[in-house]
Amino acid sequence: MPVRDLPWVAPDRAAARLARDAPDCRFVLFDSAGPLGDGARFSYLALDPVRVIADADADAAPLDALDQALAAGHHAALPPDQAGFAFRGGVAGFIGYECAAAWQGVPARHAPHPDDPPGLWFGLFDLVIGFDRAERRTRVQATPLGGNSARALARLDWACGWLRRAADDDAPADRLPTLRFAPDLTEAAYRDRVADILAYIRAGDIFQANLTMAHVAARPPGLDMAEVHARLRARNPAPFGGWLRAERFDLISASPERFIALDHAGRIETRPIKGTAPRDADAAADRARAAWLETSEKDRAENIMIVDVLRNDIGRVARLGSVRVPDLCRLTSFATVHHLVSRIEGALAPGRGPVDVLRAALPGGSITGAPKIRAMQIIAELEAARRGPYCGSMAWIGFDGAMDSNIIIRGLLATPRRLIAQAGGGIVADSDPAAEYAEMRLKLAPVLAVFGGGS
């Protein structure tokens, strides 16, 4: 198996160099930024896919096509890497919200925009670069698909060549234009929709629903997406971020939220986020906000409801009796917000695989509600536009059956003509419409600040 270790290169610099040197090269960066910690150490850059699977051109149903693609490289799967690099070849991409909602029997109400990306996009990648931030190591690996070792070596040499140049790159120029984003709902309309959800809760339809909205700007000519990624990453470093570059779009996320991870031994983990408080530059005020969040009955209830949803989702593919919650409503602080984060674990049932896990659990409970299907129906009724990739998931699945994924939030979709930023929050019985609007704006602010503007 061709493998090469190189001197340290920061993953964002590597992706930026690739985007500029090979602008037509498709890639997926799984970008772990912010303080080092559990789940925030390794990053992966999968590049130049052998094959692309999209919802419009898969030979079979899209998820079946992913299974078929993984089977093509299963023979090349390696035993666990003692150096800790979990992803060394497989499929990587994203599944959008409406695509996943359709699997659960909830059709989209809004027609797609002509500029929209596909509902699902994955590449089959034989070339992956791993980055270990703790030990500052960079490892390049090429999988010899079909046993073609000569081709794998040639691709390894190509990747190492531009990666060495990336180590000498200067910081991004940071010359992005100032833009204003137009919201798809006014503040009054958003608050009215929160009130509509509260009426559904009082009527007993649901306990919680996640309401979101979009902000859209015209894409300026010559926009450098490497600078966009660098600025968002600097403003909002997050452990489960990503940058996906495809044929007609870029998808960037500074997500703090792991969706589902699966190791080669079948251990499942998900970390839903519910409960938010803003950070404060004053240390004492910041501690007070964190303490308030930890004891907020409303935020804890919001989180616990979603834990129950995800326990049920994981239970559909886990061994009976294996699902447990080792962390419930744990305070976790990020660059711009405090969150309550829970952790749910389970063991994969025999005969099940990573694609089965995605099929059972998407869309994520933290961005739908409880009960999940009814909440999704209300979301389809009330939201003003499609979510698209937002609130879906970026994921990698290795040839060995391991997987990791995020919830696509705190990011930006760049299409040929538009830039789209989205945010929202969970509505429960004691939600206040004005406070929910303020929370949505808090989550959106780091993304809009990338372009020095607002809405």
Could you identify the residue written with the tokens 């589902």?
260
Q: Is the peptide bond before 49 cis (omega within 30 degrees of 0)?
A: no
Question: Across the strands, what pairs with 93?
Answer: 122, 395
**58 neighbors 118 (Cβ within 8 angstroms):** no
The 8-class DSSP code of residue 127 comes to E
- The distance in angstroms from the start CA to the end CA of the chain is 51
Q: What is the pLDDT of residue 84?
A: 87
Q: How far, CA to CA in Å, does 157 sit from each of 89, 140, 160?
A: 16, 9, 5
What are the percentages of helix, strand and coil residues in the chain, rounded to 5? 35, 30, 40
Nearest partner of 276 among 407, 408, 424, judged by Cα: 424
Q: How far is the C-alpha of 352 from the C-alpha of 318, rounded, in Å?
A: 8
Locate the DSSP E strands across 32-172: 42-47, 51-54, 90-95, 120-125, 127-132, 137-142
Q: How far is the C-alpha of 423 from the C-alpha of 264, rounded, in Å?
A: 33
Determine the topology of domain 3-449 in CATH.
Anthranilate synthase (3.60.120)
Q: What is the pLDDT of residue 294?
A: 93
CA Rg, the chain, in Å? 21
Q: What is the pLDDT of residue 455?
A: 66
Q: Which two tokens stand for residue 105?
A: 């029997």
Q: How far is the C-alpha of 214 from the C-alpha of 444, rounded, in Å?
A: 10
Burial degree of 355 (CB within 10 A; 0-12, 13-18, 19+): buried
Nearest partner of 178 among 395, 450, 423, 455, judged by Cα: 450
Positive or negative CA dihedral for 230, 236, 239, 242? negative
User: pTM score, two decimals?
Assistant: 0.94
Q: Which two tokens stand for residue 102?
A: 């359709």
Active site residues: 257, 274
Burial 84-114 (b: 16+ CB within 10 A, else e): ebbbbbbbbbbbbbbbbbebeebebeeeeee
Q: What is the pLDDT of residue 68?
A: 86
What are the extents of the domains in the chain?
A: 3-449
**203 neighbors 232 (Cβ within 8 angstroms):** no
- What are φ and ψ of residue 254, in 5° steps? -110, 60
Burial 314-332 (b: 16+ CB within 10 A, else e): bbebbeeebbeeeeebeeb
Per residue of the chain (455 residues), what is the pLDDT tens digit?
688 999 999 999 999 999 988 899 999 999 999 888 777 899 999 999 999 999 865 455 778 888 888 887 766 666 667 678 999 999 999 999 999 999 999 999 999 999 999 999 999 999 999 999 999 999 999 988 877 888 889 999 989 888 887 777 666 666 899 999 999 999 999 999 999 999 999 999 999 999 999 999 999 999 999 999 999 999 999 999 999 999 999 999 999 999 999 998 999 999 999 999 999 999 999 999 999 999 999 999 999 999 999 999 999 999 999 999 999 999 999 988 999 999 999 999 999 999 999 999 999 999 999 999 999 999 999 999 999 999 999 999 999 899 999 999 999 999 999 999 999 999 999 999 999 999 999 999 999 999 986 66
Q: What is the pLDDT of residue 171?
A: 60
